[in-house]
């Protein structure tokens, strides 16, 4: 008997009991759709994390001083001297004051004030929208000038150009020299969009800030960041007389760790979803055993007119595979559809549909049909014609 004829017979049997067929396929549908959706969410999350790190740069090292007292203070000049080493490209020491009162005209809001140098914007991949960046002259003369993040601009100026205007920061007047384009949140830190950036020494003097706590270090390439990390670690260990009192955060290592954690969680969720496929396979085997019992006389008649054992085996095996395959196909469509439309309902959630995983999940659903359909098909093929014809 040809495969086309077997599939045709299977389709007629399936159509004759649509509700039973649907309930039989339900486990497979849920399993395949869950696998496709979960993998799409996991891949989307991984890509979103990677994009955030790329916005900061994977050749970035963040140095954080955690100790207190003069022994653990970092010198601006000492830090900038590292730019003379080949494994260092740019260095931006920073000090911040959270929740500063920013006033313009009659409006007042609280935003973070960040003191740094002119390298900071290039290191964190922030782009000037209007006006200019901080300059070495601003740093040298401790000028009261400021660059505003996009959120700060919207709050105080709306669509107006703030360049040249003056704002009041905790009672000190600063002149706006530039604005930044919207960038989004940084990994492990406050968003530059909601910050006011001023020269480092101006921040230290005007707001009585203590010491440099965080320093951003950019290496020429991603490969150089590990050499820069080791050099900085040796320097800080020597300066602090201990390997404590500081934390070195390598963005490349952090990206790998977060991506690995996301992938592990996704794989665990997929493993749970695959259980639904196995449950669906058990349901298929159960229904096929019932089908064999219901069609015992049909099997006896077919065998009595010359049908061989392999014909009966193939008939019921193909029927099980068609049921699981149709369930897999429906689950595939539902999973892709859900993954595609999810970002429209939850804008913060990104998805990335994997063609390979979608194909493998469908093929696995077909394999489930083969595995769990084999026993009922084999049982049907072993029926003796005389016993089958006697069945009611």
> Residue 321's CB: how many other CB atoms inside 10 A?
24
Give pLDDT, residue 55: 63
Give pLDDT, residue 210: 81
> Please, which residues have CB within 8 angstroms of residue 390's CB and are 6 or more apart in sequence?
300
CA angle 127-132-135, nearest 5°? 105
Q: For residue 186, name the pLDDT band (cuts at 50, 70, 90).
A: low
Give pLDDT, residue 85: 94
Give the separation between CA 364 and CA 361, rounded to whole angstroms: 5
Asked if 374 and 289 count as a contact pair (C-beta separation under 8 A), the reply is no
Q: Are residues 80 and 160 in the same domain?
A: yes
> Tens digits of per-residue pLDDT, 202-229?
999 999 888 898 999 999 988 899 999 9
Give pLDDT, residue 194: 94
Pick 101 or 302 by higher pLDDT. 101
9-13, 182-186, 281-285: range with highest mean pLDDT: 281-285
> Tens digits of per-residue pLDDT, 336-388?
999 999 988 888 788 888 888 889 899 989 999 899 988 888 888 877 776 66
Q: Which of 234, 251, 268 is the last residue of a domain?
A: 251
Q: For residue 392, name the pLDDT band (cuts at 50, 70, 90).
A: low
Give pLDDT, residue 173: 96
- Burial tier of 18 (Cβ tally within 10 Å: 0-12, 13-18, 19+): exposed
State the average pLDDT over residues 86-93. Answer: 95
Nearest to 266 by CA among 17, 19, 47, 12: 47
Q: Are residues 247 and 168 in the same domain?
A: yes
Give the separation between CA 254 and CA 67, rounded to whole angstroms: 23
Phi, psi of 38 (to 5 degrees): -65, -40
Q: Are residues 292 and 375 in the same domain?
A: yes
User: 234 vs 31, 136, 246, CA distance in Å?
Assistant: 52, 29, 11
> Tens digits of per-residue pLDDT, 264-320?
888 888 888 888 888 888 888 988 888 888 777 777 777 777 778 788 888 888 888
Give the separation between CA 199 and CA 178, rounded to whole angstroms: 13
Q: Are residues 115 and 235 in the same domain?
A: yes
Q: Are residues 238 and 369 in the same domain?
A: no
Q: Are residues 129 and 262 in the same domain?
A: no
> Please, which residues have CB within 8 angstroms of residue 86's CB and are 6 or more apart in sequence?
220, 224
For strands 195-199 and 107-116, give the pairing. Answer: parallel
Phi, psi of 83 (to 5 degrees): -65, -15
In the chain, what percentage of residues exceed pLDDT 90?
42
Return the minimum-mean-pLDDT range out of 157-166, 181-190, 213-222: 181-190
State the average pLDDT over residues 106-115. Answer: 95
Q: Are residues 33 and 146 in the same domain?
A: no
Give the separation between CA 245 and CA 286, rounded to whole angstroms: 65
Total domains, the chain:
2
Q: Are residues 211 and 80 in the same domain?
A: yes
- The tally of CA atoms less than 13 A away on the side-chain side of residue 267 is 6
Range of the domain at 186: 58-251
Q: Which of 251, 275, 292 is the last residue of a domain?
A: 251
Nearest to 149 by CA among 132, 128, 166, 170: 128
Q: Are residues 41 and 98 in the same domain?
A: no
Give pLDDT, residue 112: 94
Residue 160 gets which letter from DSSP?
A: S
153-157, 249-253, 254-258, 271-275: range with highest mean pLDDT: 153-157
Give pLDDT, residue 309: 79
Nearest to 320 by CA among 376, 359, 273: 376
Q: Which of 224, 251, 278 is the last residue of a domain?
A: 251
9-18, 27-36, 83-92, 357-366: range with highest mean pLDDT: 83-92
Average pLDDT of the chain, as a whole number: 87
Q: Are residues 214 and 279 in the same domain?
A: no
Q: Are residues 225 and 311 in the same domain?
A: no
> Residue 120's CB: how many other CB atoms inside 10 A?
23
Q: Are residues 48 and 185 in the same domain?
A: no
Give pLDDT, residue 390: 64
pTM of the full predicted structure? 0.68
């Amino acid at each position: 008997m040809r495969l086309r004829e077997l599939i045709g017979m299977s389709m007629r049997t399936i159509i004759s009991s649509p509700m039973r067929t649907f309930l039989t396929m339900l486990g497979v549908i849920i399993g395949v759709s869950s696998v496709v959706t979960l993998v799409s969410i996991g891949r989307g999350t991984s890509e979103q994390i990677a994009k955030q790190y790329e916005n900061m740069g994977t050749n970035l090292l963040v140095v954080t001083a955690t100790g207190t007292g003069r022994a653990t203070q970092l010198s601006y000049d000492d830090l900038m001297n590292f730019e003379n080493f080949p494994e260092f490209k740019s260095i931006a020491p920073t000090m911040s004051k959270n929740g500063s009162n920013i006033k313009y005209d009659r409006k007042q809001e609280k935003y973070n004030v960040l003191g740094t140098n002119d390298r900071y914007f290039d290191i964190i991949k922030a782009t000037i929208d209007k006006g200019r960046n901080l300059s070495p002259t601003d740093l040298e003369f401790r000028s009261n000038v400021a660059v505003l993040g996009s959120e700060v601009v919207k709050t105080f100026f709306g669509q107006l150009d703030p360049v040249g205007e003056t704002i009041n920061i905790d009672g000190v007047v600063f002149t706006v020299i530039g604005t930044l384009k919207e960038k989004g949140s940084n990994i492990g830190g406050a968003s530059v969009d909601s910050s006011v950036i001023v020269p480092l020494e101006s921040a230290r003097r005007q707001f009585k800030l203590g010491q440099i706590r965080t320093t951003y270090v950019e290496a020429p390439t991603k490969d150089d960041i590990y050499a820069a990390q080791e050099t900085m670690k040796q320097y800080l260990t020597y300066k602090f007389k201990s390997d404590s009192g500081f934390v070195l955060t390598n963005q490349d290592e952090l990206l790998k760790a977060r991506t690995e954690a996301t992938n592990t969680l996704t794989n665990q969720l997929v493993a749970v979803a695959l259980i639904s496929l196995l449950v669906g396979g058990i349901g298929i085997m159960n229904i096929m055993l019932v089908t064999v019992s219901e069609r015992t006389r049909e099997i006896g008649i077919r065998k009595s007119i010359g049908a061989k054992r392999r014909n009966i085996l193939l008939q019921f095996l193909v029927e099980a595979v068609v049921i699981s395959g149709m369930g897999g196909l429906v689950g595939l469509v539902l999973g892709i559809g859900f993954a595609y439309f999810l970002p429209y309902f939850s804008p913060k959630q990104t998805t990335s549909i994997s063609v390979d995983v979608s194909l493998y999940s469908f093929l696995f659903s077909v394999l489930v049909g083969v595995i769990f359909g084999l026993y009922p098909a084999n049982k049907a093929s072993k029926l003796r014609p005389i016993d089958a014809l006697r069945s009611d």
